[in-house]
Structure 1
Amino acid sequence: MDRGKSDDHIVKAALALAVRAPSVRNSQPWRWRIGDRCVHLYSDPTRATDSDQRDLVLSCGAALHHLRIALAARGWSAVVRRLPDPAQPDHLASIELVRHRPTPYDVALSDAITRRRTDRRHFSSCPVPPGYLGLVTERAAVLGAIVRHATDWPRDRLVQTMSAGAQRHAGNPDHRPEPTDETSEPDFAELLVLGTASDDRLARLCAGEALSAVLLTATNIGLATCLLTEPLELPALRHRGRVGVLDGGYPQAVIRIGWAPTGAEPLPATPRRAIEDVLDPFDATEATVY
């Protein structure tokens, strides 16, 4: 970028945090380019885990929000243009940097990036305060997403949907299941369904950003989380979740949220690709839209 070597160092440090974002089946389907004026986010179709790239775009959206938070904590606000070039569908966002005074919120969420883990263990029976669930819902709403807390019969319907998804995928030899044993019996975890008003590529990207906000907020206040998308990979099951939980919204992810088991050891970090492996040389002819 044209702001100097020190700023390039800040951008690369922020990217190193961005790639800590959760991704479906740890696919890490993103690529980045640092241009003269912007940082560019591209999807990597070779790492897609589903034919319609739903999970790919959701995962990239989470990385985009991680980058925005990491930059904000380091004194740069991100002005984002999503899907800036219709001729390049893999070009998901261009991010222009503007000087910014970090807020306590920015710093807290940035610090949560390295502490967040996908926790597939059985959660504690200690209830989650309603105010905590309200906070993560508000953070998602700011980014254009809907979050519904599934309780009573909607929860039962959702658990049935998750179980049905696992059973259907079990008969598909080409399907690689998520490494979790909580899809059919979510123990004491609260279940949140994150959705959007529409279901196009832009909506899925924004859903990923909202997902990141939910997970980092939960981490910051001490809650454990686990992202689930497998129950929503089949159209019939997505429709069941749409009618039964979101009242017409489009479900994009299910989140288990609660307290980690009492006395449990901290979870290790899941390996990520080195930043050099996801950072492409910038070619001005390939990304001229800002």
Structure 2
Amino acid sequence: MPPFLAAAVEQALRAPSVHNTQPWRWRVGADSVELHADPDRHLPVTDPDRRDLLLSCGAVLHHLTVALAGAGAAAVVERLPDPEDSTHLATVSVGRGPATGAELFPAIAQRRTERRQMSHRPVPEEILADLAAHAARAGAVLLPVTGPEARARLAEVFRQAGQLQRSAPGYPAELRLWTHRLPGAHDGVPAAAIAQVRTHTDGAPMLRAFPDGRLRQGAQQTGHGRPDDAAEYLVVATTGDTVLDRLRAGEATSAVLLAATLAGLATTPLSQATEVPAVRQALGSSVLRVPEQPQLVLRVGWPATHADPLPFTPRRPLPTVLLA
């Protein structure tokens, strides 16, 4: 196994995934890397149509190309290369030519998922435009949810999704399984990465209700911005809703999250509104009112003042995710 390829895959493992399930496996060759979905890490109740699984794998695929670019290697990506193997999502070969995306490489180690309130300081339009450009280069569109009416409709679809999921048989148990891992586990969402909720109105209404958070909220500058915070809500969307569309949406998600991190922003991927089919349809028709297919909601904003640093969330060691 070439050391630089192994190092790039190890860097890619920092990619975000639903509930930090890390639903991927890898096969590393002499000059290429295969990305495979790991069906054993699919969340059947939370993610009934495997959208989250594919988005997660798309994010780790983009992280890999950025890690290779950081090492000076150009990546040639063949998506869905084997019609007979639906788990084989991509083969990444080292090619000739300029390595694109190297500027995002430092953000791989810096990015965290922020589940606390954010600052009342607004995000400049030029940064939002840059994030949209990153999404477009990765094969998706980034649609902002602006205005009080649209934001209220967005909050409502998240409320509906949460209500439907909480009443779904097996959902509470699945959520608890991935937020109460055994000591020494290398996956799941630890309590130290989940914000404490002091009241039912604390924080943004679109955040998933994780149990037993221990992360302290940061201080807020009162009297400025929106009543919750000044975070922006951006929807990653695609023209279609095929396996390839979902994979590309995951790549675009990675590109946006890394670019936002480099700009100093905090970020939160929010998948709950797209996990329930009827709610996802409402997100497209009543909130966005566009023909594109919503794949994921991203929350971006400035970190709150004096917020404690976000901890690393665990990742599985490289040998445990390799295929023979």
Larger mean CA deviation between 201-210 and 181-190 belongs to 181-190
After superposition, the Cα gap between the structure-2 partners of 1:168 and 1:51, relative to the gap in structure 1 and judged at 3 Å, is closer
Of 50, 63, 68, which aligns to 1:66? 63
Change (3 A) 1:200 1:101: closer
Report the Cα distance in structure 1 between the residues aligned to 2:76 and 2:252, rounded to whole angstroms. 16
Equivalent position SS for 1:194: strand
CA distance in 2, matches of 1:185, 1:273: 29
**Partner residue, 2:36:** 42
- How many residues in Structure 1 have an aligned counterpart in Structure 2? 273
1:129-208 pair list within 5 angstroms: 129-152=124-147, 153-175=149-171, 176-177=174-175, 184=205, 187-188=228-229, 189-208=231-250
Q: 1:252 to 1:77 in 2, by over 3 A?
A: same
TM-score between the two structures when normalised by the length of structure 2:
0.80
State how 1:1-290 maps to structure 2 within 5 Å. Answer: 8-49=2-43, 50-101=47-98, 106=102, 108-152=103-147, 153-175=149-171, 176-177=174-175, 184=205, 187-188=228-229, 189-243=231-285, 244-245=287-288, 247-281=290-324
Partner of 1:287: none
Q: Is 1:78–1:95's contact at 8 Å kept on the other side of the alignment?
A: yes
| Residue identity matched to 2:234 | L
CA RMSD of superposed structures (Å):
1.7
Q: SS of the residue aligned with 1:280?
A: coil
Report the TM-score when normalising by structure 1.
Answer: 0.90
Opposite residue 148 of structure 1, the aligned amino acid is L
- Give the AA of the match of 2:291: G
CA deviation string 1:18-51 (max 9, x = no partner): 1100001111000000124421000000101123
Shift of 1:260: 0.7
SS of residue matched to 1:78: strand
Unpaired runs of 5+ residues, structure 1, are 2-7, 282-290
- CA positional deviation for 1:122: 0.2
Equivalent pairs: percent with the same residue?
45
**Aligned partners of 1:195 and 1:246 also within 8 Å:** no
Deviation at 1:241, TM superposition (A): 0.9
Q: Distance in 2 between matches of 1:71 and 1:246?
A: 38
User: 1:203, CA displacement in angstroms?
Assistant: 0.3
- Unaligned ranges ≥5, structure 2: 180-193, 198-202, 208-227
Residue 101 (structure 1) shift:
4.8
How far did residue 155 of structure 1 move?
1.8
Q: 2: distance between equivalents of 1:72 and 1:144?
A: 18
